[in-house]
Structure 1
């Protein structure tokens, strides 16, 4: 299959990344001739192999650590992951890679690498630290000619910091590749729905096996349920969606019934620790809105955005409280636990954030957020994004930008034909069981923004 969503296989100059320090991405006539006639064909797997080989060699020479010069010091780091969604061919024998590397203290550095050369013989020409624990030191701005330039964070408009205001429209591809299966299997995938802020049309659905649409009644989710067999090994599940999304602000809603959003969940428990912390934070503060803002600020001050080591990414409020680190799921689970501990209803949602600085390509996994209820209104918050960029902390208390898609809402999802492992913690990536045992699925998200809302 070809088309704009085949981002991970072949990347053109329009794909993702950067030219600031390469004097632009324009090539001469002679270089274009070489590109078309004698240059080896480069795909993203070639770039991934090139950067992984470089890091492996330098780590061996560094006694088990990869060294990066940063602000007059030498950082000693270990590889966490290569961002495959950002690998890019910049032109003749010029390439880009973005890699997460972690220090022994647990800080995660997002490092940009520029490479030169052919497949199997690439060398790194420049290395720069882009983010520290998710906080950017600079951003990239794509120009009309599809090249990219560095932009100072302090001068960057919200559109370069992940925020599309007003409305956004895009096509979203959800793609899951099944592993080898030796016996009967079952899989559950979120089917995003429409509401006052999001309209989703399913343009196509390709899935092997027997399919059924299940209703999850606790939070109103729809789920694609597949019964699979060994003959489906290696096959692909693909959902192509057209999404029209509005920026979400504070909105009116009926009072949650029966204390639904005050009840504990498996990984968001109600215990004395959360009550003690929350009561101390809100002491002397009047009204749930003021108290919720105090809890919001407390989470930002207490936690570090860090995806490293065991335990992160499960939305475990106890883990977040104890380690004071985690990703978006951990940030918001901790916030929800604190809100509920002082009687403020709060709930969880998960989906994907659509890049604001470009109009197509890969998406860096799921993203999640929360809402709390007071005075007849739901207030959207995104604390992990506020933590990454302090100048947007006020915006993210009461807003979610238009450039995202909500895949599902809630925790501990119960289905009539649910997994043998029990309620689903949260549903963004597929849940697969082979012979009743959990198994991993390779999943990819990508998008293409509609021309009516394109930013270039």
Structure 2
């Protein structure tokens, strides 16, 4: 009886294995039929994630310098929020004056706003700390119920219309190889991803980069993440594909702690009845071995802070629309304070969750 039972269990195990393999084969055939890359695991190439979840603390701070004594200082700081790909816990802050939470209405960005007066030291320092659980994104294989499979009419407007530095049509559209362009949004997004990757190179050695100017990116053919993804978004929207710009910060792949020198950005394009598909074309250019991975996938080595361009803060800033919102926006006596007089202080430390 024992041998018969074991034999029966073995048959069940074999059938289960065969069913799982068939499902995997069907999924692979489906991806290949659209010309899409297959997701790869952490052991199959340098730079690929070794784990799908990362836990860390993130410290966001700044020192506002050379302030006139007695001047009225207003500070808007972007606040990361919980999404389907990250869980955010506010640990605490050290902020002078009274702070409050506000919400930017167009894109739904959260803001920590405070105002105070400069004292005789002529300097104001603040820090905000968060605990983060960040997940790897694999949108080509993971069907996440929380992803927006359809967009509201307002979202259609937000992510299909032009921004000041992200036009519709013109030079970006002229760069798109229209011959044999796929009819579906997923296929077109893949073509644009590769086309921008071929057109641009990651290079910050020359002036002009970092504004996210799609026309400039067309002509210069180099820049940082803002330039890569502004061009991608301009092309996508020109083809009627909703696309959005996301700002945050990168973390090194190696676990530990340290300072973070600056921001990182990436983009999403929308496929109806599927949801938002991420692309990180500048990282793919920096790490060519991950070019297939960064279409539809994101490592957990990042934190997302804000979405959108041409941003109106709450309360409304006195200065012009913000090109994007990742560093603190500061106004002194109703005028924007120069960014070179704001010493930014960002750091992280990985933690273990029991």
Give the TM bin, normalised by the shorter chain: 0.7 to 0.9
Residue 177 of structure 1 aligns with which residue?
63
Q: Which of 279, 300, 305 in structure 2 is aligned with 1:402?
A: 300
Residue 323 of structure 1 aligns with which residue?
220
- 2:315 & 2:138 partners in 1: Cα distance? 35
Contact 2:48–2:290, Cα closer than 8 Å, also in 1: no
Residue 148 of structure 2 aligns with which residue?
253
- 2:178 & 2:96 partners in 1: Cα distance? 51
Q: Say if 1:255 and 1:282 are closer, same or farther in 2 by CA, change over 3 A.
A: farther
Contact 1:164–1:356, Cα closer than 8 Å, also in 2: no
- 1:395 & 1:165 partners in 2: Cα distance? 15
Q: Tell me the CA shift for residue 186 of structure 1.
A: 1.6
Where relative contact order (Cα < 8 A, 6+ residues apart) is larger, the structure is: 2
Q: Which runs of 5+ in 2 are unaligned?
A: 1-41
Contact 1:253–1:378, Cα closer than 8 Å, also in 2: yes
1:124-168 CA distances to partner (integer Å, 9 max, x unpaired)? xxxxxxxxxxxxxxxxxxxxxxxxxxxxxxxx9578627354111
Task: Detail structure 1 runs of 4+ shifted over 3 Å in the superposition.
Answer: 156-160, 162-165, 281-284
- 1:326 & 1:255 partners in 2: Cα distance? 32
Contact 1:181–1:229, Cα closer than 8 Å, also in 2: no
How many pairs are equivalent? 297
Deviates more, 1:310-319 or 1:216-225: 310-319
Q: Tell me the CA shift for residue 276 of structure 1.
A: 2.0
Higher strand fraction: Structure 1 or Structure 2? 1
- 1:426 & 1:380 partners in 2: Cα distance? 18
Whether 2:94 is the aligned partner of 1:206: answer yes
- 1:431 & 1:315 partners in 2: Cα distance? 18
Q: Secondary structure at 2:297's aligned position in 1?
A: coil
Whether 2:268 is the aligned partner of 1:355: answer no
Higher helix fraction: Structure 1 or Structure 2? 2
Deviates more, 1:392-401 or 1:182-191: 182-191
Q: TM-score, normalised by structure 1?
A: 0.62
- 1:380 & 1:374 partners in 2: Cα distance? 11
Q: Say if 1:389 and 1:416 are closer, same or farther in 2 by CA, change over 3 A.
A: closer
Q: Which runs of 5+ in 1 are unaligned?
A: 1-155
Contact 1:179–1:233, Cα closer than 8 Å, also in 2: yes
Q: Which of 247, 250, 266 in structure 2 is aligned with 1:369?
A: 266
Contact 1:160–1:356, Cα closer than 8 Å, also in 2: no
- 1:271 & 1:326 partners in 2: Cα distance? 21
Aligned pairs for 1:163-242 within 5 A: 163-182=49-68, 183-231=71-119, 233-242=122-131
Whether 2:345 is the aligned partner of 1:447: answer no
Residue 426 of structure 1 aligns with which residue?
324
